[in-house]
Structure 1
């Protein structure tokens, strides 16, 4: 067990290093750099500052070869310094930290919503297969998979404006946007969380319902289920104790993808709903070619993916003894 975890951790460290190289290189692929983007903004606003280009490049080391920039960035990372955002002219840790708490809250609520719906609906659809309820839930599941999240977000916003006469975008009311944290602000946040939770969790719920139903139907045909039923074990206890536990493997395997989702969220949905999360921040950093901010966010997503995959493997070993003995 310890040797397995040790091997996975060493592989994870190599993966994180590879992610740092690839992310830094990909961010540098578009023509130009931050200075070019900054001057283009000034030109659009009518200001002329061509002399500032070389100063900006020299100030942030953009005039050096890409491998030198990467080594300096990597050295700062190893000392716990994420660098300074070129666009915000603030430490990257502060820029990300401003949006990280709300991103985590929104994503965790969406994940909880997804799991609380997907598990019982998937079990019901498998146990009551080909019933009216199964057909209805299957139809809703395919509908949830077919509708893009951003389109569903637009529908929810239109419904809120047209029917409820309420602004369902954002996470706070206008009076709490810049207010310090308090019980009233936390309560206002809870009142707004249900919209992004439903929108972000819709497609994930539909997908996990279909996977749970298919896996549980397959397990219900196994000989051990037939044997346990023949020995007189009650149907509810039989289903909950054995086949459901094995069918939970897709939920455990999705942990590796849920961890980075907690930080990034859905970028397009966050923009549509005006959510102050890290996702739109990453998009803005890529558009501005803010390599330190974008690189830090991409690297963070890579680290969380590695950690989530390791936790997922350990949970799978605990849930399914077959994986434990086959490793």
Structure 2
């Protein structure tokens, strides 16, 4: 059953990814003009000028004189046959070099944020459900509403102001100035850890507040079902009863969230990254979309879509393993 299910899902992924790649490329191409038009407009706004011959030469160099279909086929063929995602017009480098250079730091920052969310949200959500309407429940509920209401980038701005006004130091970036371009060493790694906790807390705040509310609501729903009362009547210890049955079933939203966290691990929080000056992939996507760098933006959206499809499959498998009510069929 599991083998057939996996094979069927993998076969479904092929047309899905083809459709995603096509839609991704079309979306990037939808705005009027192209990268060269944006580039010329920027030059002219700065007082420069580009001759017609130079425009034609650049258009031919960047293959912008081809039709949209030809550009798409050139791009997708390079990805499938050579792993070549194309050329970034904005950064004047291969797209793979632009992305892979930032994905590692992005993954590390967001993965640590994800661990922070789960470690904090799970026990607080369980406590709030078990101690419903207690002082602690009201306090965590209030903090949760604050976390949901305050945007991450605003929290980042407030934290940066407090750090600069009260402690006289900036909290932006992932490295101190002397380590930004230095090769990796133990000193640079320790400096990285010293800066890491700030974006982790800021990026994870809203997700933590949301997951606390989800965990509390789902566990409250499970605690009053007949199977819990039956197990309690049979004398099962309260803590063992809680962890073995209702908590396990209330974990479904946590597990299903994995499918959406894989693309988040790569994309990161773009606005928060810009505010904190983080060398992650979120700001790169924003630059690519603004400059209509089609191969960079299309490749980035394609990677996120692939990770979403893979993450959804992983979530489905984990849910079927966690909850016996869910069948692979």
TM-score by length of 1: 0.97
Residue number in structure 2 paired with 1:179: 182
Distance 2:12 2:156 in 1: 39
Within 5 Å, give how 1:72-111 maps onto structure 2: 72-79=74-81, 80-111=83-114
Residue number in structure 1 paired with 2:139: 136
Q: Which runs of 5+ in 1 are unaligned?
A: none
Residue 40 (structure 1) shift: 1.6
Residue number in structure 2 paired with 1:6: 7
Distance 2:57 2:257 in 1: 46
Residue number in structure 2 paired with 1:250: 253
Runs of 4+ in 1 over 3 A off after TM superposition: none
Distance 1:13 1:310 in 2: 13
1:261 to 264, 284, 307: 264
Distance 2:204 2:307 in 1: 20
Tell me the alpha carbon deviations over residues 250-301 of structure 1, each in whole angstroms, 9 at most, x when there is no partner.
0111111100000001111110111110000000011111111111110000
Residue 57 (structure 1) shift: 1.3
The number of equivalent residue pairs is 326
Distance 1:73 1:296 in 2: 9
Distance 1:34 1:100 in 2: 24
Residue number in structure 2 paired with 1:230: 233
Distance 1:198 1:102 in 2: 16
Residue 47 (structure 1) shift: 2.0
Distance 2:266 2:259 in 1: 13
Residue number in structure 1 paired with 2:325: 322
Residue number in structure 1 paired with 2:163: 160
- Contact 1:39 / 1:50 at 8 angstroms: preserved in 2? no
Distance 2:257 2:41 in 1: 42
TM-score by length of 2: 0.97
Distance 2:156 2:89 in 1: 32
- Contact 1:36 / 1:53 at 8 angstroms: preserved in 2? no
How well do the aligned residues superpose, as a CA RMSD in angstroms? 1.0
Residue number in structure 2 paired with 1:28: 29
Residue number in structure 1 paired with 2:48: 47
- Contact 1:318 / 1:324 at 8 angstroms: preserved in 2? no
Q: Which runs of 5+ in 2 are unaligned?
A: none
Distance 2:148 2:24 in 1: 30
Residue number in structure 2 paired with 1:190: 193
